[in-house]
Amino acid sequence: MTKRNYKFILTYDGTKYYGWEHQPKVEETIQGKIENVLKKMLDTDVEVIGCGRTDAGVSARGYVCNAHFATEKKPEEIRDYLNRYLPDNICVDECIIASDRFHSRYNATGKTYRYTCYIGNTKPVFDRKFVYVLDFVPDIEAMKEASSYLIGEHDFASFCSNPKMKKSTVRKVDSIIIEKNKDYLTFTYHGSGFLQHMVRILTGTLLEVGEGKRDASSIPALIDAKERAKAGACAPANGLCLIKVDY
């Protein structure tokens, strides 16, 4: 049988996992779970390539990964097999045959992330695992003003949690949409790519603006500083979800 390159689109609840990437002595990763089921199906080890490293606790509605292997099963049969044996908090929404050269990480041209906060007066019982519950109602207009300074190509070193980052910290953010819908406040980010914890630090910083702890006009100086310590807190992982990957 000839090896083919299979592309998968996943939905997963990442709140109980240690992120996407498998780690030594850590079984609870998304990549590890999928590779284990493929090994069961194929009776051989398979490397699953992810579109990026989602952090521990982060979920996804449109995560993309790919793997090269040989099987007589049709793509929909592979999808069904994976869904039968994967935990209930991981779902393969789609399995297709991609070109041999397709690479889920290197071919990605953009990503959309959404961060969700709860600002109601009661408790988000059914959504509690996927929202950051705030004890204040932020000033949305102030946050929108602050976000306008973040649009475009900048050195986002102030918003990266990895102090030993060897690669460039320059990234391009195309849009930041801040919306209130009843008791929920969402921040939707689209960009070419994001640094480690970048979306969560951006959100934490914007929330500090919304709470009146920093001025919207201070954002340009914060970008120029290139110092993580000067940016806001890193918002909790459970409020973040990868929505879509562009190719």
CATH topology identical between 4-98 and 110-246:
yes
**H helix or E strand, kind and range, residue 36:** helix 30-42
DSSP labels for 140-190?
HHHHHHHHHTT-EEEE-GGG-S-TT--S--EEEEEEEEEEEETTEEEEEEE
Encode pLDDT of 79-129 as tens digits. Answer: 999 999 999 999 999 999 999 999 999 999 999 999 999 999 999 999 999
Q: Above 90 in pLDDT, residue 220?
A: yes
* Architecture field, domain 110-246: 2-Layer Sandwich (3.30)
Encode pLDDT of 143-167 as tens digits. Answer: 999 999 999 999 999 999 998 777 8
- What is the CATH number that goes with domain 4-98? 3.30.70.580
User: From the candidates 43, 55, 88, 183, which is the catalytic residue?
Assistant: 55
Give, to the nearest 10 degrees, the angle between helix 198-210 and helix 140-148: 130
Predicted model pTM: 0.95
Residue 104 and residue 62: Cα distance in Å, rounded? 12
Mean pLDDT of all residues belonging to the chain: 96
Q: Is 139 a catalytic residue?
A: no
**Residue 1: pLDDT band with limits 50, 70, 90:** confident
Domain ranges of the chain: 4-98, 110-246
Encode pLDDT of 50-65 as tens digits. Answer: 999 899 999 999 999 9
Q: Above 80 in pLDDT, residue 24?
A: no
Query: Could you tell me which of 235, 96, 92, 118 has the C-alpha nearest to residue 186?
Result: 118
Question: Are the C-beta atoms of 116 and 185 separated by less than 8 Å?
Answer: yes
